[in-house]
Amino acid sequence: MGASVKENSTEKLLDVIRGVNRKKPEINVPTAPPKIEPVNLKKIKKKALNLGVLLNPEDITLVLSSNKQKRLIKWATFELPDELGIEDKGFALFLESRLEAFTEGLKGIPTWCTIDSAKLKLRNITIPDVALPKIANAAFWGLKKEVEFDADQEIFDFEIIGDRLVQDVKRKNLLAFTIEKTQVNQLKTLFSKAGFNLKGITTIPFALQNFIHSQHLQMLDSPFTIVNISRKSSEIVCFSNTSILLTRIIRTGSYNLVDNFIKFPDNSVVKYLSSLKSIQSEGFLKIKLSCERLIEKIVRTSEYCSQNFADNVPMKNFFSLVRQLIVILSWNLLLSRP
């Protein structure tokens, strides 16, 4: 009998390791509306409003702006419950409760959200100087030469940057990209369930490019690099004064700078860093070494971009964003008002 019990226990343990019949535990999703300072949005025409949603693995940031007066109205960040992912049933309920509270029950506001840039296949390419009706086909095959994609499963699009001379031959410079249809449909379904239909979907590199084009972010020297450092990854985006040159995502974020020597949960990292009293302490010196490795990756990426996309012109400036990017962009928009 003892042997039989032992065998059963062992098999159960192996089943757990293998994931056999293992169900994801129920996640307690808080749907009670959070306390947000109201601004009486009903006095503002909803067509004059824009709602931006930045989806992160750890939290959701909501930004409301006016497209007429070009000003930031309000913003808020909500931490996600532990283990709650975008594919979970409770995610739509959580998103709905936050959107309802944030928009003060106002429906029909044009809503945009971000999609994970890691899902985007984007390349800065040049194609022959063909006539306008032939650009789409040339862009499609130009991107095919750079990256493999499935035209049936992915959405293809491109943006014309302008003309450029390559060895004294006129060519067209484009941004060509694809995104999986399932990713786009997932977001559309998510927001529809939450009661907010999406007007558009963007990514961090394109959001930055839009702010550069509209001169809300004014860069005098190009090319330059912007690094968006989040908790568990960093996004490196190299720009000219007209377009994106190169994007790269690396698996090093602010928490990764310390996780080699801090074996605490994520929420203890800030507490540990706050306890360090001197920049000469052992903890800071270890962080410095981790930062130097991150900087080396940023520099190598920028050098590669200079050599391959910027005619060997070195990067003039480096900018680092360590807060929620959409908030910073909106704040720049606010500061740039006449």
pLDDT for position 140: 97
- Least confident segment among 71-85, 256-270, 313-327: 256-270
The mean pLDDT of 71-93, rounded to a whole number, is 86
Kindly state the average pLDDT of the residues 226-241.
88
Q: Which fold has domain 219-323?
A: Nucleotidyltransferase; domain 5 (3.30.420)
* pLDDT at residue 221 is higher than 70: yes
Could you count the other beta carbons within 10 Å of the beta carbon of residue 254? 21
Question: What are the residue ranges of CATH 3.30.420.40 in the chain?
Answer: 219-323
- 100 or 47: whose pLDDT is higher? 100
Please spell the DSSP secondary structure of 171-234, one letter per residue: EEEEEEEEEEHHHHHHHHHHHHHTT--EEEEE-HHHHHHHHHHTTSS---SSSEEEEEE-SS-E
Residue 300 near residue 184, CB atoms below 8 Å: no
Answer whether residue 177 shows pLDDT above 80: yes
The arithmetic mean of pLDDT across residues 270-281, rounded, is 67
* pTM of this structure: 0.76
Q: Average per-residue pLDDT in the chain? A: 80
